[in-house]
Amino acid sequence: DTEVTQTPKHLVMGMTNKKSLKCEQHMGHRAMYWYKQKAKKPPELMFVYSYEKLSINESVPSRFSPECPNSSLLNLHLHALQPEDSALYLCASSQDFSRSYNEQFFGPGTRLTVL
């Protein structure tokens, strides 16, 4: 099974709301990633978890809070977002984060709109 799932597919939230994005993989991968993609731009890396520990945080504002409860799940908690945070949020996983085994597989994304 080479599938990464994400929920919800679409999310509309106000600037005072708290919401969470969820990502799940059952490929036995030990690295998971969050990306943000604005229209007509490439995905931008936000966070990397390796063996359930946060390995990379690309200077993401604290209103985005990642969580990796176990090796199959990755959450992104959202609080007090701004309209400019509206984007497609993509989750990915890879076998690990070493140089040799990091072919990434992506989920379908969550399209977030902040009003």
Q: Is 53 in the site for other proteins (CB under 8 A)?
A: no
92, two tokens:
């990915």
Closer residue to other proteins (CB): 15 or 58: 58
| Omega before 8 within 30 of 0, i.e. cis | yes
3-class state of residue 4 by DSSP: strand
- Span from 19-27, 59-67, 70-78, 103-111 in contact with other proteins (CB under 8 A): 103-111
Task: Kindly state the smallest distance separating residue 66's Cβ from other proteins, in Å.
Answer: 16
**Residues 47 and 66 sit within 8 Å (Cβ to Cβ):** yes
User: Counting beta carbons within 10 angstroms of the beta carbon of residue 1, is it exposed (0 to 12), middle (13 to 18) or buried (19 or more)?
Assistant: exposed
Residues 17, 19, 30, 45: which binds other proteins (CB under 8 A)? 45
Q: Which residues bind other proteins (CB under 8 A)?
A: 33, 37, 40-45, 56, 88, 90, 92, 99-100, 102-106, 108-109, 111
